[in-house]
Chain A
Amino acid sequence: MLNPHPDLTPSVLVGLGWFYLVIFLMNLLWTIRSFKVDGEYRNGMPKASLWAVYTSIVMMLSFYHFTYPVEGFMFSMPLAFKDFFDAYFSNPVLYFFLTILGLWAMIQFREWWTKPTVAWVLLNCSLIFMTLSLTDYDFRQIVGKPDNVPIVAMLFIVAFFTWIYFRRAVDNDRRIDEGRPLFEQEDNDKVLVWPDLVYTELICMVVLTAVLVFWGIALQAPLEEPASSMKTPNPSKAPWYFLGLQEMLVYFDPWLAGVVLPSIILGGLIAVPYIDFNKAGNGYYSFKERSFAITTFLFGFMPLWVALIVLGTFLRGPNWNFFGIYEYWDVHKVEAANNVNLSEFFWNGLGLGIPKGSGVGDILLRESPGIILTIVYFAALPPVLGLTVLRKYFVRMGVLRFLVFSNLILWMAILPIKMLLRWAFALKYIVGIPEFFFNI
């Protein structure tokens, strides 16, 4: 019987063989490095021998993929794991909490995961996870789509640059604690713009062009059927870099998520230099001296932007339903999502019934709980925060700067708050006045 969705085909196996070969070569170099750098165990065995064993296993795996027939192939992601993953990890709530947890762990254990060996182990884990997952048809359909290749690359690139930042910052923090000069001061090998920098840029330019050309040849542009106003592709996805915003549009009115929030993001980023009073960390990496600024940035960047792009790309399927990474994209997947406005919660909860009537007064009365809540959130919270949690910042910034700062923070916080409310209470809008096209 011909399986229309084969998990494994000969070409997939050969591709995976190449993938393993790359991993093998990477680890071969790493083993050499480890032999030179890592030293020995107490019994005289070099620590690199573990890497040598692992590397040779990967090499054998590579050859196994090249030579083995599809029937009876043994090395793939276990079905039990896939089912477990799809059953428990395919919901946005858990996903979001995991990203927050990941951010927390990244900051908390920064001294640990910035060690080269640890980072290398993590990289290998992610690569092996990739290769194992690629044996799954549905995973391959999502990840291998030419559209989505840059996002897979982006994950590794973001991880790499974050790692570099934390490694330098951890190093400098240690130096500051010990009273030693900063890395940037001690290792101050300044070079000339010409030729050092310009040559580097030239080489980068050439390499990048070569990569783009190769990419353009190797991966075909994902053309779809001709556009039609009558038919929307299902799922219909924004360009990958806007998928975070598209995810926001699920929770907010288009006017808010499409116009107001992006403007606030841009305006807020422009305002950062005027808000930031902390002069430390200027020209060198440091985490401890700028922990608040960096945590805030990473929160806005990692869970609220990168993770949402990943969510929109890999985990949103037909009808914008949430799918596990090994799950078949079933157009008819039913997801109960009966959303209710805050006003309905409020008036029905009080047993009064929603105020009827289409006059302006009636509408405002109907939505009064949400309106009051919103006003309190944006007007009353900043002073409260300034007098309690953020007192330190209030004192340093003064009234005007603090108001801008706290409102930006509150706008950023409204994203996860609204998402949580939607997930927890199926809340649609806090203020829902479709009559005026005004929904919050």
Chain B
Amino acid sequence: MTDPKPSTNDILSKIRAKNAAAAPAEQPAAPVAPVIEAPVASEAVAPVEKPAAAAPKGTSDILAAARAAAKPAGTADILAAIKKPAAVVAPAAPAAGGTPKSPADIMAAIRAKAGAAPAAEAAPAAEKSVVAKAAIAAPAGMSAAEMIKAARSVAGGTPVPPKVVLPAKPLVGKAPVTGAKAPAAQIERRTAVGELVVFLLSPVFIAWASFSTACGAFGLGVARFMMPNVLVEPPTKFKIGPTNDYAPGTVSTKWQAQFNIWVVNGEVDGAQMIYALSTVCTHLGCTPNWLEGEQKFKCPCHGSGFYKNGVNFEGPAPRPLERVGIRLAEDGMLEVDKSVKFQRELGQWSNPSCFVGVT
């Protein structure tokens, strides 16, 4: 065969041509047998060689045997039968042409062995055939790597030379000390410091060291991120001026931007008082707007509305706005304490810490 790597189609067409001829192609089976048998082990080779000579002469024989046994009913059966032996033949091609060039060829050879086993069972008439031998010879617990190795050794025509056992490399790899200039005797004389220097200069060490340094720096950066220089949280306690800054009946929005509160001077249950409302909508936390014209807080997100006293009356807000703590400080200023909340639905608005009575 001139083509060192025939495709499946080529092989199939060849087989078909042989079948059509119906005559023994007299292709020597010898090249076939070793390909399949040899990889097993050296002791297996000897007994196999001889039966291989007496075995069917060519693929067509194998085919015929397989067909006789299988009694093909239809084209599909014939094709299937052809395919099995074809799998056996496949490795023969590269073997005849020369050494297999690619791992694909080698794998094909190995597969052919596996494929041959069922074919042998299906064809008792071909008991002594190469196929059967192949099946017997194929060891069960052979790893793929072993198979490849074995196949390579056989297909190459020469046994794989025992792998040259290289002297165990020192960690330094290709470090110049092990070069031709430095004889082995000198290496042994190196001090521990010298070995350390060599190790520190090795590419492996440099690569890992820089990688670890980068990771460490990143980790430090993350840790630093957790402790910001500036904490932009406004103080929770702050003065908002004297009571007469807030005229009766008004809502002051002047602290909205800075402290998120509205300061209201209004009448609640008959008593005039100043109280501070949190600007967080009780629905989903948007900031409502105070609409002077309608005298209500209106949330732009879902349309919740609150009266001036913070009680919800429209939209989806489930509860009134929250009051925050407020008191008249000793210096006569109003002092707001945002760290405490007062919720009306919990009855906390009667708590004197959340309003300052004015007269």
B22 contacts the other chain (CB 8 A): no
A279 contacts the other chain (CB 8 A): no
| A236 and B286 contact, CB distance less than 8 A | yes
Q: Which of A318, A358, A428 contacts B347 (CB 8 A)?
A: A358
Nearest Cβ in chain A — how far from B301, in angstroms? 5
Taken residue by residue from 279 to 292, chain B's Cβ proximity to chain A (1 for < 8 Å, 0 otherwise) reads as: 10001101111010
Q: Which of A321, A334, A358, A437 contacts B303 (CB 8 A)?
A: A321
| B303 and A231 contact, CB distance less than 8 A | no
Query: A238 vs B80: C-alpha distance in the bound complex, in angstroms?
Result: 63
Nearest Cβ in chain A — how far from B109, in angstroms? 31
Q: Which among B53-61, B97-105, B314-322 touches the partner chain?
A: B314-322
In the complex, what residue of chain B is closest to A339 when comparing beta carbons? B314
A282 contacts the other chain (CB 8 A): no
In the complex, what residue of chain B is closest to A428 when comparing beta carbons? B316
Q: Which of A229, A251, A319, A432 contacts B298 (CB 8 A)?
A: A319
B260 contacts the other chain (CB 8 A): yes
Taken residue by residue from 210 to 254, chain B's Cβ proximity to chain A (1 for < 8 Å, 0 otherwise) reads as: 000000000000000000000000000000000000000000000
| A236 and B300 contact, CB distance less than 8 A | yes
Query: A391 vs B237: C-alpha distance in the bound complex, in angstroms?
Result: 65
B305 contacts the other chain (CB 8 A): yes
Q: Which of B257, B258, B293, B303 contacts A337 (CB 8 A)?
A: B303
Nearest Cβ in chain B — how far from A244, in angstroms? 13
Question: Which residues A202-255 have CB closer than 8 A to chain B?
Answer: 228-236, 246, 249-254
B346 contacts the other chain (CB 8 A): yes
B256 contacts the other chain (CB 8 A): yes
Nearest Cβ in chain A — how far from B302, in angstroms? 5
Inter-chain contacts of B302 with A (CB < 8 A) = 246, 249-250, 320
Q: Which of B279, B287, B291, B303 contacts A320 (CB 8 A)?
A: B303
B313 contacts the other chain (CB 8 A): yes
A435 contacts the other chain (CB 8 A): yes
Say whether, besides A319-B303, A320-B301, A254 and B283 are in contact (CB < 8 Å). yes
B294 contacts the other chain (CB 8 A): yes
In the complex, what residue of chain A is closest to B282 when comparing beta carbons? A434
Q: Which of B257, B258, B289, B315 contacts A339 (CB 8 A)?
A: B315
In the complex, what residue of chain B is closest to A333 when comparing beta carbons? B294
| A249 and B283 contact, CB distance less than 8 A | yes
A429 contacts the other chain (CB 8 A): yes
Question: Which residues A90-128 have CB closer than 8 A to chain B?
Answer: none
In the complex, what residue of chain B is closest to A253 when comparing beta carbons? B318
* Residue among B313, B315, B345 with max Cβ neighbours from chain A (10 Å): B315
Query: A235 vs B319: C-alpha distance in the bound complex, in angstroms?
Result: 21
| A231 and B316 contact, CB distance less than 8 A | no
Query: A434 vs B313: C-alpha distance in the bound complex, in angstroms?
Result: 14
Inter-chain contacts of A407 with B (CB < 8 A) = none
B299 contacts the other chain (CB 8 A): yes
Inter-chain contacts of B299 with A (CB < 8 A) = 232, 319-320
In the complex, what residue of chain A is closest to B291 when comparing beta carbons? A332
A338 contacts the other chain (CB 8 A): yes
Inter-chain contacts of B315 with A (CB < 8 A) = 250, 320, 337, 339
Say whether, besides A229-B287, A319-B298, A320-B301, A435 and B346 are in contact (CB < 8 Å). yes
| B289 and A234 contact, CB distance less than 8 A | yes
Say whether, besides A319-B300, A434-B345, A230 and B287 are in contact (CB < 8 Å). yes
| A231 and B294 contact, CB distance less than 8 A | no
In the complex, what residue of chain B is closest to A254 when comparing beta carbons? B284
Taken residue by residue from 338 to 359, chain B's Cβ proximity to chain A (1 for < 8 Å, 0 otherwise) reads as: 0000000111000000000000
| A318 and B293 contact, CB distance less than 8 A | no
Number of interface residues of B (CB under 8 A): 30
Nearest Cβ in chain B — how far from A222, in angstroms? 17
| B303 and A251 contact, CB distance less than 8 A | no
Inter-chain contacts of B303 with A (CB < 8 A) = 250, 319-321, 337
Question: Which residues A277-310 have CB closer than 8 A to chain B?
Answer: none
Question: Which residues B147-182 have CB closer than 8 A to chain A?
Answer: none
Inter-chain contacts of A234 with B (CB < 8 A) = 289, 300
In the complex, what residue of chain A is closest to B292 when comparing beta carbons? A332
Query: A383 vs B61: C-alpha distance in the bound complex, in angstroms?
Result: 75
Say whether, besides A320-B299, A321-B303, A249 and B284 are in contact (CB < 8 Å). yes
Query: A249 vs B257: C-alpha distance in the bound complex, in angstroms?
Result: 26
Question: Which residues A401-440 have CB closer than 8 A to chain B?
Answer: 428-429, 432, 434-435, 437, 439
Query: A434 vs B347: C-alpha distance in the bound complex, in angstroms?
Result: 12
Say whether, besides A229-B260, A249-B283, A334 and B301 are in contact (CB < 8 Å). no
Nearest Cβ in chain A — how far from B350, in angstroms? 12
In the complex, what residue of chain B is closest to A432 when comparing beta carbons? B318
Inter-chain contacts of B260 with A (CB < 8 A) = 229-230
Say whether, besides A229-B260, A234-B300, A435 and B293 are in contact (CB < 8 Å). no
Query: A336 vs B345: C-alpha distance in the bound complex, in angstroms?
Result: 24
Nearest Cβ in chain B — how far from A40, in angstroms? 57
Nearest Cβ in chain B — how far from A274, in angstroms? 34
Nearest Cβ in chain B — how far from A260, in angstroms? 14
| A233 and B300 contact, CB distance less than 8 A | yes
Query: A230 vs B287: C-alpha distance in the bound complex, in angstroms?
Result: 6
Inter-chain contacts of B346 with A (CB < 8 A) = 358, 435
Query: A279 vs B140: C-alpha distance in the bound complex, in angstroms?
Result: 48
Query: A338 vs B291: C-alpha distance in the bound complex, in angstroms?
Result: 16
Question: Which residues A24-44 have CB closer than 8 A to chain B?
Answer: none
Taken residue by residue from 102 to 132, chain B's Cβ proximity to chain A (1 for < 8 Å, 0 otherwise) reads as: 0000000000000000000000000000000
Inter-chain contacts of A435 with B (CB < 8 A) = 345-346
8 A-B pairs with least C-beta separation: A320-B303, A234-B300, A434-B319, A337-B314, A232-B286, A232-B287, A319-B298, A434-B345
Ordered by A's residue number, 28 sampled pairs between the chains whose C-beta atoms are within 8 Å are A228-B257, A230-B256, A230-B257, A230-B287, A231-B257, A232-B286, A233-B300, A236-B286, A236-B301, A246-B301, A249-B284, A250-B302, A250-B315, A250-B316, A251-B316, A254-B316, A319-B298, A319-B300, A320-B301, A320-B315, A332-B294, A336-B314, A338-B314, A339-B313, A358-B346, A429-B318, A434-B318, A437-B318
User: 17 additional contacts, CB 8 Å, given A253-B318, A337-B314?
Assistant: A230-B279, A231-B257, A232-B286, A232-B288, A232-B299, A250-B302, A250-B303, A258-B284, A318-B300, A320-B301, A320-B315, A321-B303, A338-B313, A338-B314, A339-B313, A429-B318, A439-B318
